[in-house]
Amino acid sequence: MRQDLVLLVIFIAMIGVFSAINPRFFSLPAAANILQDFSPVVLMAIGQTFVIASKGIDLSVGSVLGLSGVVMALVIRACNEAGYDPSLTIGLGLLAAMAVGLAVGLVNGLMITYFRLVPFIATLATFGAAAGLSLVATGGVQIAGGPQAVIMLGNKAYGGAFTVPVIAVFVVIAVSWVFLAKSRFGRWTYAIGSNAFAARGSGIDVQRHLIKVYMLSGLLASLAGAFVYFRLGSGSPLSGRGGELSAIAAAVIGGVSLHGGSGKLGGTVLGALITTAVLSGLIMVGVEPNWQQIVVAALIAFAVGIQSVRGPSAGGTS
């Protein structure tokens, strides 16, 4: 049976179990909260899917989320204090956040392709640097001071569950699926992950493509930072802590092979939905929040174990 179908069955069963224990889990407010938690995770996980499919890893996404949100908050506060129009203020803040993500992704890509650092070490370095810059820029405190339009944009729900940023996330999911499953960019990503030497021999500029992949991951992590900023109305240097673990968990649970060359974006989306729903459900049934990281780690271990049993090519392609 296809892994994405298995994940869908697991998700439905999980809803039934949590709803039986606490009926509030199967409610519109609970669904709205899960969507809010799901959105930044799935954005990072999509980037992670491209990276892992190319046989890499990106440990910097959580720190990029935090740094992007902080930079966005600082730019928006400065523009708001200068009396700029709220729409222009938000637009400039969003562009600043995206620039941060692209810059970190570029650094990651250059270190991996031209300085020959393994992805784990390269992205671990930017993970620490981005986290440190966030603390330096803020002094360890949240940055607020944006216009009221920020709060309205991030929290006004349509249909009881869908805010404008959540709707935007679903648009990003759709566009990313097309890129991975139907475009040359996706085919080249899988080819490099399967066999970089053969991909180079077939005419693919492997170094240039990998730089683009890591820049894409950084960009999506920065959009996750923007989402969190809209949700909270402020930027916090700690908002992305543990985000890399959640993103990797979603991708691996979704069937993206750590051996590279395979994986489906639909599985990643379901993986992100399962991880966020599990954590929300555990809280609603009375499990302490401190257990969240342990649960995510256990889910990763379980998914990797399943991959090991099924073999490197178990994930398939989109």
At 235-289, the pLDDT tens digits run 999 999 889 999 998 999 898 998 999 899 999 999 999 989 988 998 888 887 7
Rounded Cα distance between 275 and 251, Å, is 10
* Residue 317 pLDDT level (bands cut at 50, 70, 90): low
Task: Find the helix or strand (DSSP H, E) in which 272 lies.
Answer: helix 265-284
Rounded Cα distance between 239 and 216, Å, is 20
pLDDT of 92 over the 60 cut: yes
pLDDT of 94 over the 70 cut: yes
pLDDT of 131 over the 60 cut: yes
> What is the arithmetic mean of pLDDT over 182-202?
96
Q: What is the pLDDT of residues 135-183, one digit of tens each?
A: 999 999 999 999 999 988 988 999 888 999 999 999 999 999 999 999 9
* Residue 308 pLDDT level (bands cut at 50, 70, 90): low
Sorted by where each begins, the domain ranges of the chain are 3-18+25-308
Please give the angle made by the CA atoms of 65, 318 and 113, to the nearest 5 degrees: 55
Find out whether 66 and 133 touch, Cβ atoms under 8 Å.
Answer: no
Contacts 24+ apart (CB under 8 A), 167-174: 169/39, 169/42, 169/43, 169/227, 172/43, 172/46, 172/220, 172/223, 173/42, 173/46, 173/265, 173/269
Token output for 254: 């979704």
Give the count of beta carbons closer than 10 Å to the beta carbon of residue 302. Answer: 13
The secondary structure of residue 118, as a DSSP letter, is -
The secondary structure of residue 27, as a DSSP letter, is S
Rounded Cα distance between 160 and 133, Å, is 37
Return the pLDDT at 298: 80
What spatial distance separates the first Cα and last Cα of the chain, rounded to whole Å? 15
Chain-wide mean pLDDT for the chain?
92
Which CATH number is associated with domain 3-18+25-308? 1.10.3470
pLDDT of 310 over the 70 cut: no
Lowest mean pLDDT among 27-36, 89-98, 145-154, 283-292: 283-292
Q: What is the pLDDT of residues 96-105, one digit of tens each?
A: 999 999 999 9
Percent of the chain past pLDDT 90, that is, above it, reads 74
Return the pLDDT at 318: 53
Return the pLDDT at 202: 95
> What is the arithmetic mean of pLDDT over 49-68?
97
Token output for 248: 């990797």
pLDDT of 303 over the 80 cut: no
Token output for 178: 């097309």
pLDDT of 314 over the 50 cut: no
pTM over 0.95: no
Percent of the chain past pLDDT 70, that is, above it, reads 95
Return the pLDDT at 315: 44
